[in-house]
Structure formats: C-alpha cells, structure tokens
Structure 1
C-alpha cells in the first residue's frame, strides 16, 4: 500500500486525499497547528493522523502539498528540513519561477520533485477534477497511480518542472480575474443604482460572469487564497515578458476581501466592502 502525506486537508486537499484513499492508498496528515475545520474534514474523509511532520516524512512514499500559494515555499522548506528523500508533489497555484525555487529547496539527495496543478472544484462522487503533472518522467506514473479510477483525472505533461504550474496560471489568469472584473462592474452599478439594468444586459449574452452575481460572495470568501495566486500569475506573466498589470490589479482588489475566509455575507455586503472612503 502506498502512503500519501497531505499538506494540508483544506477543502481541496481533503477531497483530493480522499480520492487517493478510495483508490487504495493510506493517507496521513499532521493535525498539529491545524484548525478545527481541518480536523473535521480529515476525520470525515478517513485520513490517518500522525504526531508531527517528522512522522509523516518517515512514513509517506509521496507527500502532496496543497496550500495557499503564498506559503508554498515555506511548506516545502519545512519538509526539506526533515531530509525527505522520496517524492514531493507541489500542487499549488504558483508561477513556474516559484516552482523552480521550490524544486531547489527540496534538493535533498534522493528526493524527487513533481510539479502539479489542479483545475476544477474539489472532487466528489458527482464532480471530477483534473490534476496535471510535470517533472521527472519516472515519478509521474507513481503519482498518477494514486488516483487510478478515482474522480481525480491525472494528465501527464511533457517537459520538466514548471509546465503544470504554467498551465494552471494560464487558466487562473482568466478564471479569477474575470470574476473580479464582474464584481467591480456590479459595485459600480450598485453605486449608481443601476444593478438591475446591468443584470438585464448581461443576461442577454450567451455566457458572462456578469450574469452570475450570486457568485461574488464565493469569490470574496476565497480571495485570501486567490489574491496571492493572482500575484503568482503576475510573476509568471512578467517572466514571459507579458503585461502583468491586470493580474496585480486583481490581487489588489481581492485584498479588500482578505478577511472574509469562510464568511457568509450576501452580494450587497461584499460589494460594499469594495468601496473605501476617500480618507481610508
């Protein structure tokens, strides 16, 4: 039985780990310092607790990091500090350059680093998720094997470290920025009392995030994580010689929603939080 270590069982991490467990792997996680919500998710999905990171490093054949992009390098350093010598998969939304830094951090004799990116909602009985993998060719099938026959659909990309991360951020560049632009549009319409007219215009088009204002609270509640991801998008754009202004601006807008993790605000409330007084 392959043992997978998950860092950490957030909403995505727990769901992905559960799919590996359903496919026959043992999944271990470290409760130390984690929230009550993380503990409840881990218990619900049948993940096995370990005493500390040192025990995870000792037991896990593969460690998968799924965490906010802003702390991805720190998480890698914590694992490297324990001289982990097997397969480390960084599945976070980070720029290719950041992924290269993580690979360098994990440069321990015997360790293998895999670049991963997840596209889609947390996997479940009714939803599948794509997991793209790039890096050393001998390691990719081992990681993919964790999810054989599960709701996590693995896709192996040719080329080395950075390819999976680049694909994720190419997608994020549109997916997240477009939602922020839609929210800003609604905030402007709200300021002038023309929200209904904007909805009417948007609903006349075949596809538009402007036609989905009910989604804005979800965007706001995820901005603590999405904002840093857009900063990584900006870094990737700059590395490729492309304009990064929109990505930086999206991250800046999301910073106004930084404290809304797990909040249950409604559309007017999250739009009002985008407005600041002239002296703030």
Structure 2
C-alpha cells in the first residue's frame, strides 16, 4: 500500500509529537495554520510538519486525520470535518467519554471510517513510548497500526467497538490525574503546618507513591488546563455507568485553580502551592 498522507488536528505537545512519529510511515503529515497560535506553529516546524492554510485543504489531501485537541472542542472539530465530507480514516484520539465518541461517529459515517483512540503515556519524545489504544473497524485500525509501526508510538487494538479505547484512556486518567491532585492537596496541607518534610519522609518509606514526588506538582499545575476537562469527561463516564462522579469533579475543580498557569515551565513548587491556596 502507498504511504498515506496524514493530517493532525492540532499540533499541541502530544499531537505534534505523535504526528512526527506518523511521518516515519506517511508520505506527508499536514497541519492547519488557520486560527492556531505562534506556539503551535513553532511546534509544527520543530517536528517537520507541513502547513496548509485552511482545514478543507488538509481534509482534501489527507487519507488519515488524527484529532488530538482539548476535550471541550472535540465535537465541534468533528462537526467541521463532517461538514466538509471527509472520506478517509478519522481517528478520534481525544480524552473524551465513550458516549461522546459514539455521538461523534455517526457525524462522519458512512463517508469516513471512525477509529476510537486513546493515548496513554507522555508525548513520544526523549525516549518516551506512549501507547495509542485503538478500537473500531478492523481494516481502519490496521491502517493506523501501519502508520506507527517501528516508531515510539506503540499501538494496541482493543476490538471493533467504538468507545473501548476512550473508556480505557479515561479509566487510567481517573486514577493518574486525580492522584496527582491529591498529592498537591496533601503537601499543601502539610506545608501550612510546617510538616511537609516529615510528610515526604513518611511517603518515601512506601514504594511507588506519588506522594513521594512533590516535584511533580508544578508540572501538574502547568497541565491543569488540559487535565481538568479530561477529568470532567471521566466523571461523565462514571455517571453513565451508575458510579459516583463527585470525586473526579472535585479534582477537576481543584485543577481549575491552576488554569492561569497554562504550560508554565518555570513554575516552582512554592508558586504552584501558593496558587492552589490563593487562586
């Protein structure tokens, strides 16, 4: 099979790195400049992606489109793609609930093939090897596997049912991201009473405890603008299953206190805890 042309919507920190991996087995990887920031343009250039001026051009030229954007805009973006009449493989790889993924699929079918995707792990740079879980029609998931074969993005197919990959992504995110929020609250409480170092000593006696990694709190703060909406999606998924969503909604609310620290790579632990206590 000829190498496909892949379009990425949009080149954020994860999307750009994933798209760069796809370039290993694609003839070209496109991204759309319209409405994107200077930071997006810089990332796209860094990873060698080819710019196009408008979304219709990207959709006309692409055989495969991968959607990796903030959860809140996933459906709007899918509507835009559907209105254009895209006929390739559309990978809905956003951190959204299975229910939303299932709402998106009929927008594009039957003209396009829909693959549900969920990325678990960090962006594929500096030796990181995230897993892209896939579910959907077998021929379509096979095409996505072929795009990433031999790259830092590992793929695993969960079956043909759209929604499975989204469910796995959010199940993992529910634990991983909420745990980081609980660490921030625990360290903040301990700091207020002057026992933060003692707390770390207690945590260090246990293996694999996030509580022993307070240095991750500034990173959590910088990612809060993305993590909060993702946990809201996970809460919706819990509610749909008859499970209590309140814990995840509370974690999302806590993360919202850090929204103004978006992608701040210079944030210190003290800064992050101060913002958490006094938003």
TM-score range with shorter-chain normalisation?
A: over 0.9
Residue of structure 2 equivalent to 1:267: 269
Residue of structure 2 equivalent to 1:58: 60
Residue of structure 1 equivalent to 2:224: 223
**Secondary structure of 1:110's partner?**
coil
Residue of structure 2 equivalent to 1:201: 202
**Secondary structure of 1:233's partner?**
helix
Kindly state the Cα deviation for residue 144 of structure 1 after the two structures are TM-superposed.
1.1
Kindly state the Cα deviation for residue 181 of structure 1 after the two structures are TM-superposed.
0.4
* Cα distance in structure 2, aligned partners of 1:125 and 1:60: 28
Name the TM-score, length of structure 2 as normaliser: 0.96
For structure 2, list consecutive stretches of 5 or more residues without a partner in the other structure: none
Kindly state the Cα deviation for residue 63 of structure 1 after the two structures are TM-superposed.
0.4
Residue of structure 2 equivalent to 1:7: 9
Kindly state the Cα deviation for residue 105 of structure 1 after the two structures are TM-superposed.
2.6
* Cα distance in structure 2, aligned partners of 1:159 and 1:14: 27
String of CA shifts for 1:102-128, please: whole Å, max 9, x gaps. Answer: 113323x42111100001111135221
Find out whether 1:19 has 2:14 as its counterpart.
no
Q: 1:110 to 1:104 in 2, by over 3 A?
A: closer
Residue of structure 1 equivalent to 2:187: 186
**Secondary structure of 2:84's partner?**
coil
Matches within 5 A, 1:1-280: 1-107=3-109, 109-124=110-125, 126-263=127-264, 264-276=266-278
Contact 1:120 1:129 in 2 (8 A): yes
Kindly state the Cα deviation for residue 159 of structure 1 after the two structures are TM-superposed.
3.7
Kindly state the Cα deviation for residue 5 of structure 1 after the two structures are TM-superposed.
0.3
- Structure 1 segments of 4 or more deviating over 3 A? none
* Cα distance in structure 2, aligned partners of 1:235 and 1:39: 33
Kindly state the Cα deviation for residue 137 of structure 1 after the two structures are TM-superposed.
1.6
Contact 1:116 1:165 in 2 (8 A): yes
Kindly state the Cα deviation for residue 133 of structure 1 after the two structures are TM-superposed.
0.5
Kindly state the Cα deviation for residue 23 of structure 1 after the two structures are TM-superposed.
2.6
Kindly state the Cα deviation for residue 276 of structure 1 after the two structures are TM-superposed.
4.0
CA RMSD of aligned residues (A): 1.3
Q: In the comparison of the two structures, how many residue pairs are matched?
A: 276
* Cα distance in structure 1, aligned partners of 2:174 and 2:228: 11
* Cα distance in structure 2, aligned partners of 1:246 and 1:104: 32
* Cα distance in structure 2, aligned partners of 1:17 and 1:269: 33
Kindly state the Cα deviation for residue 273 of structure 1 after the two structures are TM-superposed.
1.4
Contact 2:180 2:220 in 1 (8 A): yes
Kindly state the Cα deviation for residue 206 of structure 1 after the two structures are TM-superposed.
1.1
Name the TM-score, length of structure 1 as normaliser: 0.95
